[in-house]
Amino acid sequence: MSLDRLIKGIKEMNNPTVAGLDPKLDYIPEYIRQAAYEKYGKTLEGAAEALFEFNKGLIDALCDIVPAVKPQAAYYEMYGWQGVRALERTIAYAKSKGMFVITDGKRNDIGTTMEAYAKAHLGVTDVEGESFEAFGGDALTVNGYLGTDGVKPVINVCKDKDKGMFILVKTSNPSSGELQDRSIDDGLTIYRTMGNMCEKWGEELMGEYGYSGVGAVVGATYPEQLGELRKALPHTFFLVPGYGAQGGGAKDVAPAFDENGIGAVINSSRGIMCAWKKEEGLDPKDYAQAARREAIRMRDEINSVKN
């Protein structure tokens, strides 16, 4: 009912990072794509097969050193239901290897509809008395614009199934401030207000490390706000995107951690997935080993700056 399984994984591996699995076709070595197209043609199904095979190699190479993966739903939906099936297979495979899976879907809706998303991504779906895990992630990213009605159904599933969520608080993109940085009537910014809501929603889901099951997404590209929010939200665990390709460095993510060196998990997607393209003379068949080397480099870099 909290994010304790994630925090435990981070501690055991001494690695506060998550590998983003946002596979685009041009991140995938040609030999994997060709093998998929030979089976299924240059189709959505062929592309989806390539996505899964690429992910499988990455998961195999990372699962003993990186505690979590974060597949981004958009990159699978782009390939239709066939891509969504590759998402489901990726989640199942990562879990079979012991990884914690954060499904990055930024889902949001009201009451019963949000309940459907919560069942889809974290819980189980009932078909005439039989229960099925539709996607089976361990945590889901959620957009909180709709208020408590849009979060409560996720809280309920988290309680029931020992799952967690991350609410968008201060996102990593350049225009995130257009709305999120505005101050509201009590003088607090919108992102801070959303952060305070996370603290409140999390009360029902407290874990043993002092962090609740309601985490927050806070971008590495805004280190000042990251530090402000770390102090203001002592029970809210952070998922930090924006490290690497988006411009955030190790020093930028340091403020995300508490005095015990926990409190955040830092995501890298392109940096890890595309590491093989940056090593000169590398055989593309060794793409996953290149990803592993980058994941270790990132782990060590981040450990060197956190408390």
Q: Which amino acid is at 17?
A: T
Single out the residue of 5, 8, 97, 106 in contact with a second copy (rule: CB under 8 A).
Answer: 106
Give the count of residues interacting with a second copy (CB under 8 A).
72
Give the binding range for a second copy (CB under 8 A) out of 175-183, 229-237, 248-256, 283-291.
175-183
Instruction: Report, in Å, the least distance between residue 41 CB and a second copy.
Output: 9
Single out the residue of 31, 39, 64, 147 in contact with a second copy (rule: CB under 8 A).
Answer: 147
| 106 in active site | yes
> Which residues between 114 and 143 bind a second copy (CB under 8 A)?
114, 116-117, 119-121, 125-130, 132, 134-135, 143
- The answer to whether the CB of 132 falls within 8 A of the CB of 124 is yes
Nearest-CA neighbor of 111 among 66, 61, 147, 164? 147
**CA 250, 254, 256, 257 torsion-angle sign:** positive
**CA 285, 289, 292, 294 torsion-angle sign:** negative
Angle, vertex CA 238, rays to CA 235 and CA 239, nearest 5? 155
Q: Is 233 exposed, middle or buried (0-12, 13-18, 19+ CB in 10 A)?
A: buried
Whichever of 2 and 176 has its CB closer to a second copy, that residue is: 176
Per rule CB under 8 A, is residue 203 in the interface with a second copy? no
Whichever of 31 and 132 has its CB closer to a second copy, that residue is: 132
What are the angstrom distances between the C-alpha of 23 and each of 70, 86, 142, 269?
Answer: 11, 11, 21, 9
Instruction: Report, in Å, the least distance between residue 165 CB and a second copy.
Output: 15
> From CA 238, how far away is CA 257, in angstroms rounded?
9
Per rule CB under 8 A, is residue 84 in the interface with a second copy? yes
Single out the residue of 60, 64, 184, 251 in contact with a second copy (rule: CB under 8 A).
Answer: 184
Single out the residue of 144, 164, 213, 255 in contact with a second copy (rule: CB under 8 A).
Answer: 144
Per rule CB under 8 A, is residue 193 in the interface with a second copy? yes
Per rule CB under 8 A, is residue 145 in the interface with a second copy? yes
- The answer to whether the CB of 209 falls within 8 A of the CB of 7 is yes
DSSP letter string over 89-152?
HHHHHHHHTT-EEEEEEEE---HHHHHHHHHHHTS-EEETTEEE-SS--SEEEE--TT-GGGTH
Whichever of 11 and 27 has its CB closer to a second copy, that residue is: 27
Instruction: Report, in Å, the least distance between residue 141 CB and a second copy.
Output: 9
Helix/strand/coil for 51: helix
Give the binding range for a second copy (CB under 8 A) out of 5-13, 189-197, 276-284, 292-300.
189-197
Per rule CB under 8 A, is residue 232 in the interface with a second copy? no
Q: How far is CA 154 from the centre of its chain?
A: 16
Check 56, 106, 152, 277 and give the catalytic one: 106
Per rule CB under 8 A, is residue 38 in the interface with a second copy? no
Angle, vertex CA 293, rays to CA 8 and CA 79, nearest 5? 80
> Which residues between 254 and 283 bind a second copy (CB under 8 A)?
none
Per rule CB under 8 A, is residue 74 in the interface with a second copy? yes
Please, what's the b/e burial string for 173-211 (b: 16 or more CB within 10 A of its CB; e: otherwise)?
eeebbeebeeeeeeeebbbbbbbbbbbebbebbbbebeb
Give the binding range for a second copy (CB under 8 A) out of 11-19, 61-69, 72-80, 273-281.
72-80
Whichever of 183 and 304 has its CB closer to a second copy, that residue is: 183
Single out the residue of 8, 13, 25, 301 in contact with a second copy (rule: CB under 8 A).
Answer: 25
Q: Which residues are catalytic?
A: 106
